Structure 1
């Protein structure tokens, strides 16, 4: 599974990260906060949640709006 990280510039393309790399980050620090782009499907983010909850981790996700437009948001994910 590949997910897109949040953009650092409004007009840039999002970078991709795979499940293996996310898992390594969480194992290394025991917790992680990640920001994902709005182009990710909600279904993929729920699959990510199922993966980490299956490993006994806590998973918290919310939408963060950074502008007035309806499409100016990103997903904030906490994995503990």
Structure 2
């Protein structure tokens, strides 16, 4: 499963990350917050939630609006050991 991190610039393309790198970050720290781009499907993020919850981690996800338009949002994911 490849996901896309949130853009750091409006004109740039989002950077991809695979599940192994996300898991390594979670194992390294007790609490990790990731910001994912709106191009990710909600279904993929729910699969990510299922994956980490099966491993006994707490998973919290929300949409973060950063502008007035409906299309100006990103996903915030907080994973806790």
Count of residue correspondences: 80
| TM-score, normalising length: structure 2 | 0.97
Matched position secondary structure for 2:11: coil
Q: Please list every run of 5 or more consecutive structure 1 residues that lacks an aligned counterpart in the other structure.
A: none
2-side partners of 1:31 and 1:41: how far apart?
Answer: 24
After TM superposition, what 4+ stretches of structure 1 lie above 3 angstroms from structure 2? none
Shift of 1:30: 2.0
User: Which residue in 2 is equivalent to 1:57?
Assistant: 57
Q: Does 1:42 align with 2:23?
A: no
2-side partners of 1:63 and 1:11: how far apart?
Answer: 21
Question: Over aligned residues, Cα RMSD in angstroms?
Answer: 0.4
- Measured against aligned partners, the alpha-carbon deviations of 1:1-37 in whole angstroms (never above 9, x if no partner) come to 0000000001110000000000000000122100000
| TM-score, normalising length: structure 1 | 0.98
User: Which residue in 1 is equivalent to 2:22?
Assistant: 22
User: Which residue in 2 is equivalent to 1:70?
Assistant: 70
2-side partners of 1:67 and 1:4: how far apart?
Answer: 20
